[in-house]
Amino acid sequence: MRISEIFSSIQGESTYAGRPCSFVRTTGCDQRCTWCDTAYAFHGGEEMSLDDLYAAVTACGNELVEVTGGEPLLQPEVPEFTKELCDRGYTVLIETGGSLPIAGLDPRVRRILDLKAPASGMTTRVHWDNLHHLKAGDEIKFVLADRSDFDWAAKVMANHRLTERTTVLFAPVFGVLEPRLLAEWILADRLPVRLQLQLHKYIWSPTARGV
């Protein structure tokens, strides 16, 4: 697998926010979101064997592991890698941009599906069939830049009855949409969603890597 970085940090997103977590960030992405904060993972990286990856995760010493990117599902070894992590007793998260099928992942892997709102510029890349493969423990994240994104996400959530099947996260684009404003919209519309902030960007510098 081609890997951009492996590190131990505090999980900053999802319902697992605040927990120590080992991150395996793959190299390469098939999308170019306007607000992307990990463009450094588009290229470069280092080829690592699965055995070396298991050793690196073990060395981090955390029970929680997230495989992220870039877009991790571009790496053909990811299903095998995440299954083996589950077999070894880890709680495994995979964060995917939602353009590629998730059906081939081990059911023990908790999928965090990032549905791209219009301001991302990537809405046409959404693989909508993924919504039929959601299971208990999975999560859907909408990263929102403005009110139009919010209204779009609320409509998608209602049309697909997402909150009846999984946890829905609404996250503001850092430095673009004021979290207070997003919180007020959620409350005014009485949406049964979870407001998500990128906790690591408040603990460390928003541009820091390896955290």
Residue 210 has what pLDDT? 86
**Average pLDDT over every residue of 153-175:** 96
Query: Is the peptide bond prior to 70 cis by the omega test (within 30 degrees of 0)?
Result: yes
> How does strand 2-10 pair with strand 46-47?
antiparallel
Residue 13 has what pLDDT? 95
15-36 residue pLDDT tens? 999 999 999 999 999 999 999 9
208 lies in a domain? Answer: no
Is the torsion defined by CA of 83, 86, 88, 93 positive or negative? Answer: positive
Q: What is the CATH number of the domain that holds 145?
A: 3.20.20.70
Entry pTM: 0.94
211 lies in a domain? Answer: no
Residue 196 has what pLDDT? 96
Domain count, the chain: 1
Q: Is the pLDDT score of 187 beyond 90?
A: yes
The set of residues, in sequence order, having a beta carbon less than 8 Å from that of 136 and lying 6+ positions away, is 165, 166
100-154 residue pLDDT tens? 999 999 999 999 999 999 999 999 999 999 999 999 899 999 999 999 999 999 9
43-71 residue pLDDT tens? 999 999 999 999 999 999 999 999 999 99
The end-to-end CA distance of the chain, in Å, is 21
Per the structure, the complete domain to which residue 22 belongs is given by 2-203
109 lies in a domain? Answer: yes
Q: Is the pLDDT score of 161 beyond 90?
A: yes
68 lies in a domain? Answer: yes
198 lies in a domain? Answer: yes
Q: Measure the CA–CA gap between 179 and 187, rounded to whole angstroms.
A: 12
Helix (H, G, I), strand (E, B) or coil at 145: coil
Residue 180 has what pLDDT? 98
Kindly tell me the number of DSSP H helices and DSSP E strands found in the chain. 5, 9
Q: Establish how many alpha carbons lie within 13 A of residue 173's alpha carbon, considering only the half-sphere containing its beta carbon.
A: 18
* DSSP conformation class of 131: G
195-206 residue pLDDT tens? 999 999 999 999
Helix (H, G, I), strand (E, B) or coil at 55: helix
pLDDT band of 211, cuts 50, 70, 90: confident
Residue 20 has what pLDDT? 98
